[in-house]
């Protein structure tokens, strides 16, 4: 699978359909604060697409606290070779995601409608993603048992100062990290990559 974040024409059409469905559903169910389909694309989808280049050699992915399906749905559409699990405890959001998966004909996607804890048993994953879900340390505490030994977190985060503050509480002997600045003209956004240090 090419290391790219550019969808094919068919995938781009599915993303557009997903955006329109989200916008319509949002009018009555308040998934998020967005003013137009274009706003969803610029604010949410473009950022979700930036995760794709970090998903090489990935077979399974968990998107925790997926909300309206971001970045998980965008990944599922653009990487049909990855089995994507979307975890979300809010019923109105999981209803929308399940309905959208069916309408888009996605065969590689499943929804787990539950609050994920450090005791949840839903499988082991190569990649765990999250966006606007929780602090870095909380994500690790909640999900570390769900990550394969060679897996990694691909987290969409805000200001670098806050990321560095959050990283103070993680175990540096166990985890290594990399912060990548995203090209966003409107606000400061980053991808935070975290993986386990290799045990020699």
Distances in Å between the alpha carbon of 97 and those of 3, 119, 157?
A: 26, 24, 22
Q: Where are the domains of the chain?
A: 9-196
Burial of 150 (0-12, 13-18, 19+ CB in 10 A): exposed
Interatomic CA distance for residues 191 and 153, integer angstroms = 10
Q: What percentage of the chain has pLDDT greater than the value 70?
A: 96
Residue 4: what pLDDT? 57
- Asked if residue 165 has pLDDT above 70, the reply is yes
Which pTM does this prediction carry? 0.94
CATH architecture designation of domain 9-196: 3-Layer(aba) Sandwich (3.40)
Higher pLDDT, 20 or 4: 20
CA angle 151, 68, 55 (to 5 degrees): 25
- Asked if residue 3 has pLDDT above 80, the reply is no
> pLDDT digits over 84-136, tens only?
999 999 999 999 999 999 999 999 999 999 999 998 999 999 999 999 899 99
């Amino acid at each position: 699978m090419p290391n790219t974040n550019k969808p094919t024409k068919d995938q781009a059409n599915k993303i557009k359909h997903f955006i329109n469905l989200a916008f319509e559903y949002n009018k009555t169910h308040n998934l998020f604060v967005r003013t137009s389909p274009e706003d969803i694309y610029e604010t949410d989808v473009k950022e979700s697409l930036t995760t794709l280049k970090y998903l090489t050699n990935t077979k399974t992915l968990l998107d925790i606290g997926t909300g309206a399906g971001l970045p998980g749905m965008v990944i599922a559409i653009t990487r049909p070779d990855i089995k994507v699990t979307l975890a979300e405890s809010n019923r109105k959001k999981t209803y929308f995601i399940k309905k959208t998966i069916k309408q888009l004909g996605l065969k590689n996607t499943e929804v787990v409608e539950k609050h994920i804890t450090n005791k949840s048993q839903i499988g082991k994953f190569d990649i765990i993603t999250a966006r606007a879900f929780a602090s870095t340390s909380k994500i690790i505490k909640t999900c570390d048992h769900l990550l394969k030994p060679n897996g990694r977190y691909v987290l969409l985060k805000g200001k670098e100062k806050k990321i560095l503050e959050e990283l103070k509480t993680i175990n540096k002997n166990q985890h290594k990290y990399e912060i990548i600045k995203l090209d966003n003209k409107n606000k400061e956004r980053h991808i935070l990559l975290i993986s386990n240090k290799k045990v020699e």
